[in-house]
């Protein structure tokens, strides 16, 4: 019996296969993600309790001077906006866009369809039965631009939501978020 491949799974495989990683480390991680997708038909769902792909976006203000970060209640740190891929998402980019709008409250965000970077991290993840497991999030991170006049609005998924200037990120910002901010700045500088 042949099963029809999941469109989200196919999309993630296509996006990652086409992406040109900016560094050797990122290219190795890209290969790990593709291997994970190849060996796990449920890699796009929370049902995979080893890990799953997630989508996030670093939202940059229209003046390109600040980034929008959320104080995540489970992690207790300032992070980019993002989260799990849902069955209603048409693509991985759509998941990052949806999560950005849900968590940041800004309509009209534009997400660059090319990944900015990848970040694999172990997190406590709700299991859907009232508990949590420690598993891998294979995060595909995108760059997003907020529209002029867009106003952020904190969601129930955040303890706080703020714009932070490039050079004045919160003191306890971890290395992965700092690397994401640096990559976003480099891409924006290259596009000017």
pLDDT digits (tens, 9 = 90+) for 12-42: 999 999 999 999 999 999 999 999 999 999 9
Q: Please name the residue that has the structure tokens 């303890």.
A: 159
What CATH number did the domain enclosing 156 receive?
3.90.79.10
- Examine residue 2 and state whether it is found in any structural domain, yes or no: no
Burial of 102 (0-12, 13-18, 19+ CB in 10 A): middle
Q: What is the mean pLDDT of residues 91-118?
A: 97
Please tell me the pTM assigned to this model. Answer: 0.94
**pLDDT-based confidence at 127, cuts 50/70/90?**
low
**pLDDT-based confidence at 172, cuts 50/70/90?**
confident
Q: How far apart are CA 113 and CA 157, in angstroms?
A: 25
Q: Are the C-beta atoms of residues 109 and 59 closer than 8 Å to each other?
A: yes
Higher pLDDT, 171 or 1: 171
Q: Which domain holds residue 87?
A: 7-191
**pLDDT-based confidence at 1, cuts 50/70/90?**
very low
- Examine residue 170 and state whether it is found in any structural domain, yes or no: yes
Antiparallel, parallel or unpaired: β 110-111 and 81-84: unpaired
Burial of 154 (0-12, 13-18, 19+ CB in 10 A): middle
Counting the structural domains of the chain, the total is 1
- Examine residue 1 and state whether it is found in any structural domain, yes or no: no
Q: How far apart are CA 87 and CA 81, in angstroms?
A: 19
């Amino acid at each position: 019996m042949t099963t029809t491949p999941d469109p989200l799974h196919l999309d993630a495989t296509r996006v990652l296969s086409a992406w040109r990683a900016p560094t050797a480390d990122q290219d190795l991680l890209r290969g790990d993600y593709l291997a994970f997708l190849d060996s796990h038909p449920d890699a796009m769902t929370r049902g995979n309790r080893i890990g799953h792909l997630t989508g996030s976006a670093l939202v940059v203000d229209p003046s390109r001077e600040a980034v929008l970060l959320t104080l995540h209640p489970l992690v207790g740190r300032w992070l980019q906006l993002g989260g799990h891929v849902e069955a209603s998402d048409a693509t991985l980019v759509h998941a990052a866009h949806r999560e950005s709008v849900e968590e940041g409250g800004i309509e009209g965000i534009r997400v660059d369809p090319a990944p900015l970077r990848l970040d694999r991290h172990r997190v406590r993840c709700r299991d859907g039965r009232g508990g949590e497991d420690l598993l891998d999030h294979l995060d595909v991170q995108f760059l997003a631009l907020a529209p002029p006049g867009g106003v952020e609005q904190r969601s129930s998924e955040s303890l706080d939501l703020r714009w932070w200037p490039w050079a004045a990120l919160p003191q306890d910002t971890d290395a992965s978020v700092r690397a994401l901010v640096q990559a976003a700045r480099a891409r924006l500088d290259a596009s000017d």
